[in-house]
Chains A and B, each alone.
Chain A
Amino acid sequence: MQFGIFTVGDVTPDPTNGRTPSENERIKAMVAIALKAEEVGLDVFATGEHHNPPFVPSSPTTMLGYIAARTETLILSTATTLITTNDPVKIAEDYAMLQHLADGRVDLMLGRGNTGPVYPWFGQDIRQGINLAKENYALLRRLWREDVVDWEGTFRTPLQAFTSTPRPLDGVPPFVWHGSIRSPEIAEQAAFYGDGFFHNNIFWPADHTRRMVQLYRRRFAFHGHGRPEDAIVGLGGQAFMRKNSQDAVREFRPYFDNAPVYGHGPSLEEFTEQTPLTVGSPQQVIERTLSFRETVGDYQRQLFLMDHAGLPLKTVLEQLDILGEEVVPVLRKEFAAGRPADVPDAPVHAARVTAATMAEGVTTA
């Protein structure tokens, strides 16, 4: 099982002192957070993609390429790559290039995005969101799997004799997760292709997460990719920790109360009860995270949102120390215990290359 962090890349004022970081500070902070993730033994760093303020990460492969050069083991991913408004040809090229530079430490999570005007800004229509996700992804797959592509569709100019370069590393494209919160169509898309399904559950009750993952698992089996428990599932989560839970609550409350994504609605107590947000001791975060398995079954990837609500970089780095030193080692041990041997591991490049080679051997034999 993989553990990591994902970041939205928002520029949010620190409500305790009113200070707003500059874009430059925030971008550098995201990099510092990624480097810290590797340092404390996490497996994955994923960045959001946005094309409007107050978000900075409009160019994920630029950022991930820079991080790739400064890390050794960290898997670089996205949360999410906009399959609706990005040109699938550019996604194929950018992420294959990143895959080469990072020696295969790359996967990506596709999503539709959630800001209405981004569609028209990129020449698209939000009402076509699902159709864009369908057509663009079908093309992206072909660009990575076929050396020469002739293609005609609805949303972009046709391609004749097009070869996307560079070709994927070792002939194996980056693994794809499909990220969704509420669209069953996206769970179906992940299931149809036998790809991963990431349910970004951070703002939703467990019952909703259970339903979406169960749908994906059922459809994964229906489409002939294996048993429901063979499906590749990822979940989000978010936490704020201090040694004593009262200290965590006291320190995080002003951030919660004022954050654009949390504040001015339910109380911190209500929100922590109804969503995965856990504010307390490392032990509480461990227990809460282990409970996710009861909701969705044994799964492959757990990403935490740690740089939320305008927390300063120093605090986020402290949080990552706690996550890497006190929480994740216990989670690795506990999730491994009782995990059936035939539940698949999280996908990594080397194993996928081996699997592809073996499949090739079977075909030619």
Chain B
Amino acid sequence: MKLTAVSAGLSTPSSTRLLADRLTESARDELATRGHAASIEVVELRELAGDVANHLVTGFPPPRLAAAIDTVTGSDGLIVVTPVFAASYSGLFKSFFDVIDPDALTGKPVLIAATGGTARHSLVLEHAMRPLFAYLRAATVPTAVYAASEDWGSGGDQHTDGLPARVRRAGAELAALMATRPTRAEPEDDVTALERQLADLRFD
């Protein structure tokens, strides 16, 4: 199965990428216990920032961005992670999903996650990320993972799980959802796909 992580972190090293990697490992391990080998790709949006802006301007993706979009839309499951900027996902994160066909993620299992300096921003996941992927008709798993800076140096308490436990739970939910999906049929060639789109169109 193809599992792809999209990370919108900007610094190197990036805590957003770190969270994406933890989540990816968790989902991969859970898929393995269910008997599925996952091939993993990571799309770093920082490397595509110029290409994304060019796509917005020209209407078509430069080759490297086209390849990244194909990776994302051809995956069996997605882990998408953004830093919190101004009370929402980053502009780069949103722009990347803006240039993907709005129907391309329909039904796709998605795990949403975000990072920030303080836990006060954690509801960004529910107020910004989840509606975005609901609009895209993705199948978003119930557990969304937010990692504040402090989470990297603390455990859970009596009220809440620590980051590792939340990562495990989210990864397991994604793996479970991916495992129940039917394997995709042989991909058809793109002209055949267009012909199928036209099936209901009548001129007479």
Is A288 at the interface (CB under 8 A from chain B)?
no
Assess whether B198 is in contact with A208, with CB atoms less than 8 Å apart: no
Select B195's contact among A134, A138, A219, beta carbons within 8 Å: A219
Complex interface: chain B residues within 8 A of A184 (CB): 194, 197-198
* Closest CB in chain A relative to B181 CB, distance in Å: 27
Bound-state Cα–Cα, A187 to B60, Å: 19
Complex interface: chain A residues within 8 A of B63 (CB): 274
Q: Mark B176-204, 1 if CB is under 8 A from A, else 0.
A: 00000000000000110011011001011
Complex interface: chain A residues within 8 A of B190 (CB): 211
Assess whether B195 is in contact with A218, with CB atoms less than 8 Å apart: yes
Bound-state Cα–Cα, A189 to B60, Å: 24
Q: Mark A184-212, 1 if CB is under 8 A from B, else 0.
A: 11011100110000000001110010010
Q: Which of A90-98, A263-271, A289-297, A349-357 contacts B (4 or more CB under 8 A)?
A: A263-271
Select A266's contact among B57, B191, B194, B198, beta carbons within 8 Å: B57
B75-130 CB contacts (< 8 Å) to partner A: none
Select A185's contact among B54, B56, B191, B198, beta carbons within 8 Å: B198
Assess whether A203 is in contact with B60, with CB atoms less than 8 Å apart: yes
Bound-state Cα–Cα, A266 to B201, Å: 36
Complex interface: chain B residues within 8 A of A270 (CB): 54, 62
Contact A204 B60, CB 8 Å, known A138-B203, A189-B203, A265-B53: yes
Assess whether A265 is in contact with B57, with CB atoms less than 8 Å apart: yes
Is A118 at the interface (CB under 8 A from chain B)?
no
Assess whether A211 is in contact with B57, with CB atoms less than 8 Å apart: no
Residues of B in contact, count (CB < 8 Å): 18
Is A71 at the interface (CB under 8 A from chain B)?
no
Assess whether A211 is in contact with B194, with CB atoms less than 8 Å apart: yes
Interface size class of A (residues with CB under 8 A): 20 to 34
Assess whether A274 is in contact with B203, with CB atoms less than 8 Å apart: no
Select B59's contact among A185, A192, A193, A203, beta carbons within 8 Å: A203
Complex interface: chain B residues within 8 A of A265 (CB): 53-54, 56-58
Is A215 at the interface (CB under 8 A from chain B)?
yes
Assess whether A215 is in contact with B194, with CB atoms less than 8 Å apart: yes
Complex interface: chain A residues within 8 A of B62 (CB): 266, 270, 274
Select B60's contact among A192, A205, A218, beta carbons within 8 Å: A205
Complex interface: chain A residues within 8 A of B53 (CB): 265
* Closest CB in chain A relative to B182 CB, distance in Å: 26
Complex interface: chain B residues within 8 A of A189 (CB): 203
* Closest CB in chain A relative to B103 CB, distance in Å: 14
Complex interface: chain B residues within 8 A of A214 (CB): 191
Complex interface: chain A residues within 8 A of B54 (CB): 265-266, 270
Contact A215 B60, CB 8 Å, known A189-B203, A270-B54: no
Assess whether A134 is in contact with B191, with CB atoms less than 8 Å apart: no
Q: Mark A213-231, 1 if CB is under 8 A from B, else 0.
A: 0110011000000000000
Residue of A138, A208, A266 with most chain B CB atoms under a 10 A cut-off: A266
Assess whether A134 is in contact with B194, with CB atoms less than 8 Å apart: no
5 sample A-B contacts, Cβ–Cβ < 8 Å, listed by A number: A134-B203, A203-B58, A203-B60, A219-B198, A264-B57
